[in-house]
Amino acid sequence: MVLNAEAVVAALLLGTMALLVWLLVRPPLPHQRASVAVSLVGFIGLPALCIWAGTSVQLENSQRTDFCLSCHVMDDFGASMELDDPTLLVAPHFQNHWVDQTRACYECHTSYTMYGGIRAKWNGVKHLWVNYIGTVPDPIQLYGDYRNGDCLRCHAQARGYLDSGFHEDLSAELEQDQTSCLDCHGPAHAIDQLGQTARWPHPMVSGGSE
Amino acid sequence: MNRSRRSAACFILIGLMIILATFRIATAPGFISMLVGAAATFGGMVWFSVDLILRD
């Protein structure tokens, strides 16, 4: 039997809550030391474990495509992944499973360096702040230039990339971000084609989830 | 258990309930609720610890 991580976390939360309720209504224990030990486990140890486990599950959820698209300001960017045009950049990546469809935004917008994941989470918290408290810029822009490393981590040793002599000539510039992949392969999301190009609806974008 | 510790325990309990209610909601509001629940739980834990250290 394979245990689902979310079910385990839910069981941990329910068990901890049941223990807390029991600790609140139980008669006093005869020994002071035993009482303190049980209190430390019930009121400090297990809740700390619950915070860690619950937060971990939610952080995993925050990598999902439908999480990113749950803010309406991202609607156009989600829709651009459904554009039915194989010459575009983002849409074929999403539609052909070149990236994991369930976490498509995270796959391309997280730098896979030592602190890439932490930076992505921090930027995500800033996004939440701007979305609910601040003013969302129009049009939405990245915090900085898109890093070639986020393309090259998949493409660098791929045959299609290596067979192109053009990439070989530019390899040093590409690795040092002096020339952007998007200079030739952009625009990334092709928002301006929305309404002009047919769509290939996908449940992860157009509603529902996989 | 004194009233202060009961209050701290209730904070922890409410925080855990919020975490449980929202930890599978993959949306931005779900994420914020999770942070609120975690903050309430953590606050209750600190309150309980301080009370335990000061009184025992």
Dist. CA B15–CA A29, nearest whole Å:
26
Residues 6+ apart with CB under 8 A from A28: A35, B1
Return the pLDDT at B38: 95
pLDDT value of position A96: 93
At residue A110, the 3 state secondary structure works out as: coil
Q: At what angle do helices A32-40 and B28-55 cross, to 10 degrees?
A: 160
- The count of other CB atoms within 10 Å of the CB of residue A61 is 20
Classify A50 as helix, strand or coil: helix
CB-based contact (8 Å) between B15 and chain A?
Answer: yes
The span from the CA of A47 to the CA of A34, in Å, is 19
CA A175, CA A156: separation in Å to the nearest integer? 10
Q: How far is CA B17 from the centre of its chain?
A: 9
Kindly report, residue by residue over A145-166, the tens digit of the pLDDT. 898 998 998 898 888 888 888 8
Strand partners of residue A197: A194
Q: Indicate whether A1 pLDDT > 60.
A: no
Task: Give mean pLDDT, residues A89-98.
Answer: 93
Q: Among A83-87, A170-174, A205-209, whose mean pLDDT is lowest?
A: A205-209
Phi, psi of A107, deg, nearest 5? -65, -40
Q: Do B32 and A50 touch (CB under 8 A)?
A: no
φ and ψ at residue A194, rounded to 5 degrees? -65, 135
Residue A115 DSSP label: T
Taking CB atoms and an 8 Å limit, are B16 and A131 in contact across chains?
no
- Contact of B13 with chain A, judged by CB distance below 8 Å, is answered with yes
Residues of B in contact with A209 (CB under 8 A): 26
Query: What six digits make up the tokens of A149?
Result: 């490393």
State whether ipTM is beyond 0.95: no
Nearest to A19 by CA among B4, B39, B12: B12
pTM: 0.78
Torsion-angle region of residue A149: left (phi > 0), alpha (psi -120 to 50) or beta? alpha
pLDDT, residue A90, reads 93
- Start-to-end C-alpha separation, chain A: 23
Chain segment A45-78, per-residue pLDDT in tens: 999 999 999 988 888 888 889 888 988 888 999 9
Q: Flag if B44 and A13 touch (Cβ within 8 Å).
A: no
Query: Chain-wide mean pLDDT for chain A?
Result: 86
Whether B24 sits inside 8 A of A61 (CB atoms) is: yes
A-chain residues near B36 (CB < 8 A): none
